[in-house]
Chain A
Amino acid sequence: QAVVTQEPSLTVSPGGTVTLTCGSSIGTVTSGHYPYWFQQKPGQAPRTLIYDTNNKHPWTPARFSGSLLGGKGALTLSGAQPEDEADYYCLLSYGAAGPVFGGGTKLTVL
């Protein structure tokens, strides 16, 4: 089974910009992996921010965007707010092998 990799932790200053990445152990991440991004705050269920690389839900704050960057999936937060401090998970789809989650990134806004 493929392993999906994320930065264990990142720190961003309030108002700053940070990019989280999502890599695959078996090669380049493409749109065909339909990258997803989720935000999870302590004691809460995750919520989906981005689907299919760069599509947003109505509840997704405009400061979040998804893309492909350097062979990985990427989530960029522009203009970080204190309420963005959370764990972020990505998910890649591997066809018949099914989806696989990354290990998560703990984002600190400080």
Chain B
Amino acid sequence: QLQLQESGPGLVKPSETLSLTCTVSGDSISNSDYHWGWIRQPPGKGLEWIGSMYYYSGNTYYNASLKSRVTISLDTSKNQVSLKVTSMTAADTAVYFCVRVLGPTGPDFWGQGTLVTVSS
């Protein structure tokens, strides 16, 4: 049974870097059928694609509006997907979801999400 479990700090100060980890069980992030990525949702608002990564090519695909601040990486030894977002501001306050992605087109499976609040 596939499970994606996000973990990381619930509170980040402005200008700091956010680091989140997604631990995958029930599938391997080296599975050639899938990419792995992140999506976020500000409280009470809609969904925003952050980006994804494909293990075999090492290619990453980022939302252009976030590309300068975002890094997604894969750790096959731990079967984990990581997200780093630099220079956090209040606008980055959101629930962050880890997702398994069908090719680079869209997610088929979601983690439960983790709320990250940016505040001093």
Contacts and interface: CB of A to CB of B under 8 A. Distances in A.
Interface of A: 1, 34, 36, 38, 45-48, 51-52, 57, 89, 91, 93, 97-104
Contacts, number: 58
Interface of B: 46-49, 51, 61-65, 97, 102, 104-113
The 7 closest A-B pairs by CB, nearest first: A36-B106, A34-B105, A101-B47, A93-B105, A45-B110, A104-B46, A99-B49
Given A48-B106, A98-B61, A101-B49, 11 more contacts: A1-B64, A45-B111, A45-B112, A46-B110, A51-B106, A51-B108, A98-B62, A98-B64, A99-B49, A99-B106, A104-B47
Nearest to A4: B46
Main secondary structure of the interface of A (DSSP, over half): strand
Main secondary structure of the interface of B (DSSP, over half): strand
Which of A47, A52, A91, A98 has the most C-beta atoms of chain B within 10 angstroms of its own C-beta?
Answer: A98
A46 B109 CA distance: 9
A51 B102 contact: yes
Contact of A52 (B104, B105, B112, B113): B105
B106 A34 contact: yes
